[in-house]
Amino acid sequence: MTLNEMTLKIGGEAGMGVESTGMGFAKALTRAGLHVFAMQDYHSRIRGGHNFYQIRISDQDIHSHLEPVDLLLAMTKVAIDEHLREIVPHGGVIYDSSIVVDDAALAERSVQAFPLPLAQIAEEEGGSKIMANTAAIGAAAGVTGLGLERINSVIRDNFTRKGQAVVDANLKVAAAAYRLAEEKYGGAFPFKLEARSAPQRMLISGNEALALGALMGGCNFVAGYPMTPGSPILEWFSVRSADLGIVTKHTEDEIAAINMIIGAAHMGVRAMTTTSGGGFALMVEGLGLAGMLEVPVVVVNVQRPGPATGHATRHEQADLLFMLHAAQGEFPRIILAPGTIEQCFEAGSRAFNLAEKYQCPVLIISDAFLAHSLRALDLNALDLEVPIDRGALLGNAELDALTERYKRFQNRESGISPRALPGHPKAVHAPSSDEHDEYGQICEDAEVRIQQNAKRMRKLETARAEMHAPLQYGHADAELAFVTWGSTVGPLRTAVDMLGGKGKSARVVQISDVWPLPVDKVTAALQGAKKVICVEQNFTGQLATLLRAHADIRVDALIRKYDGRPMSPEYILGQLKGVL
């Protein structure tokens, strides 16, 4: 039976190559024309602790993982103990023959044991036990019937830089494990994979998509201090900075990072910093400076659980209200909350246009699940034709024509003042962190304070009209509506599909432009819903609070999760029974 819909999980300790093994197999599956959704779970340590990498495979586009596992690649006994309860009846577990397994426990759950001498194959065929992971991938291909062609292509890509001898050794190991696994267990394993003819696809994560979007949006300066799970964006730019002509600065701390991008943006550079919640907390004073100077900066917060260090490598969505109110005083900011790989790309590029158009900080709020998860996308899934809009930026000809002194903070109905970059003799002004008049001069006059504060805040109303309406999925007229934000939309979409399979109608309303909240558009999206359930990964229901405070929308129930692990469709449906 060829199913082409299954879940594979790889479990082991940090330092055993769990991520690289999973990534390699996910690449091979993508090259086989299959759709892939991959996620990882790992401890905050270099070695030890139980980690896993999970891959869902399908003929159709997929947006989430599922809890049941069809095939487990166990590098340790702990991996079997941890995940045995997830394996479906007649599913299997591949493990090295040296691992002692409780056969009765497997039999009780109707799970098939597939012991193989993986380390021995690696040593005999490749000359080193370190190639046991390659043997494991070969065995998985043999059991599922995938074939070796795509596995071999990944091996060549991964090991060519180490020399042909290493490539050949790994190819031999994969082939030997494949043959043995197919021979011994291929006929017994009912879940099969078959390569499909399909357009070429890319396997891409949320962090990678956001970085690519920022590149296409004209970003040419990135500063940051590494903080999981936002660090990969900084790393993405760092390894490509010379080729792309982008300055990437590893700063001494997050305070330096935001101050550097403020300086760069003041000079006309499209600048960005990336961090997580703890790092964003250090940036708060600088964020206020950007607000007062009306400098267009982009800040990316890839959330993880807090407070303090929290769970450094895990997932949560608890920084929304913090980002909305961060910094002393009041000033406009725009908050984008992508929930899919495609939306990460769009947010990364669009943020710079919004920042320059409205001359304010634009904050992108992502999360660990979205940052690390990978999907196989068609090459044309991301629109690389990104327009550049620099807003009310005065050129040399306009500055030459000025007959009056330049007013950097000119009072306009839109709240957006004409902006000029330093260097032109008629654009001289004095930016200040203090309140100032239209020229930028420090001023404590009450009327000037009222004028300038109101001018800045009017940008929110101007920008509100440009904020995207919520994205909707499912039956447009369904009386049951789930409202959500961020990466939770993927598992929620899958849950709605599951409900549809049971004859139950529901819809998802995903708010991706969080601030300024497009109240009329959100209200319209929820029209006709008789029961509104907010689904988010925090304790207090932060989106629900925002909707009640600013749109007078009161949700009927909350589905929450705050254990550091992402939502799953099964979890959502399980919680739904308790709130309906």
DSSP annotation string for 231-248: HHHHHHHHHHHHHHT-EE
Same fold for the pair 204-378 and 471-579: yes
- Cα torsion through 513, 488, 320, 44, rounded to 10: -140
Percent of the chain with pLDDT over 90: 92
State the pLDDT at residue 3.
54
pLDDT at 2: 44
Q: What CATH number has the domain spanning 204-378? A: 3.40.50.970
Out of 38-42, 508-512, 534-538, pick the least confident. Answer: 38-42
Q: Which of 364, 372, 366, 250 is nearest to 313 (CA)?
A: 372
State the chain's mean pLDDT as an integer. Answer: 95
What confidence tens digit (pLDDT) does each residue in 194-211 have? Answer: 998 888 999 999 999 999
Task: Check whether 4 has a pLDDT greater than 80.
Answer: no
Distance of CA 31 to the CA centre of its chain: 22
Ramachandran region, residue 402 (left: φ > 0; alpha: ψ -120 to 50; beta: rest):
beta
The whole-number average pLDDT for the span 305-330 is: 95
Domain ranges of the chain: 5-198, 204-378, 471-579
Structure tokens at 280: 């964003």
Once rounded to an integer, what is the mean pLDDT over residues 352-374? 97
What's the pLDDT band for 288 if we cut at 50, 70, 90? very high
- The answer for residues whose C-beta is within 8 angstroms of residue 69's C-beta and 6 or more apart is 7, 8, 9, 54, 83, 86, 87, 88, 91
- Non-local CB neighbours of 497 within 8 Å, separated by 6+ positions: none
Q: Is the pLDDT of residue 562 over 50?
A: yes
516 Cα distance to chain centroid: 22
Could you say which of 3.40.50.720, 3.40.50.880, 3.40.920.10, 3.40.190.80 is the CATH number of the domain covering 5-198?
3.40.920.10
Token pair recorded at residue 70: 């069809």
DSSP secondary structure of 465-490: TTSPPPEEEE-TT-SEEEEE-GGGHH
Instruction: For residue range 375-406, list pLDDT tens digits in order.
Output: 999 999 998 889 999 999 999 999 999 999 99
Interacting residues of 552 by C-beta distance below 8 A, sequence separation 6+:
none
HSE value, Cβ hemisphere, 13 Å, CA-based, for 151 = 28
Residue partners of 576: CB distance under 8 A and separation at least 6:
495, 533, 559
38-74 confidence digits (pLDDT tens): 999 988 877 888 999 999 999 999 999 999 999 999 9
Class of the CATH-defined domain 471-579: alpha beta
pLDDT of 13 over the 60 cut: yes
Instruction: Tell me which residue of 325, 324, 321, 268 sits closest to 297, measured CA to CA.
Output: 268
Instruction: Supply the pLDDT for residue 43.
Output: 86
CA–CA separation, 180 vs 159, rounded Å?
23
Amino acid residing at 520: D
Q: What's the pLDDT at 384?
A: 84
Average pLDDT over residues 221-249: 95
Q: Residue 287: helix, strand or coil by DSSP? A: helix
Phi-psi map region of 33: left, alpha, beta (phi>0 left; psi -120 to 50 alpha):
left
Burial tier of 425 (Cβ tally within 10 Å: 0-12, 13-18, 19+): exposed
**CA separation for the pair 383, 228 (Å, rounded):** 28
- 1 pLDDT exceeds 80? no
In this structure, are residues 228 and 306 in contact, taking their beta carbons and an 8 Å threshold?
A: no
Q: With pLDDT > 70 as the criterion, what percentage of the chain qualifies? A: 99
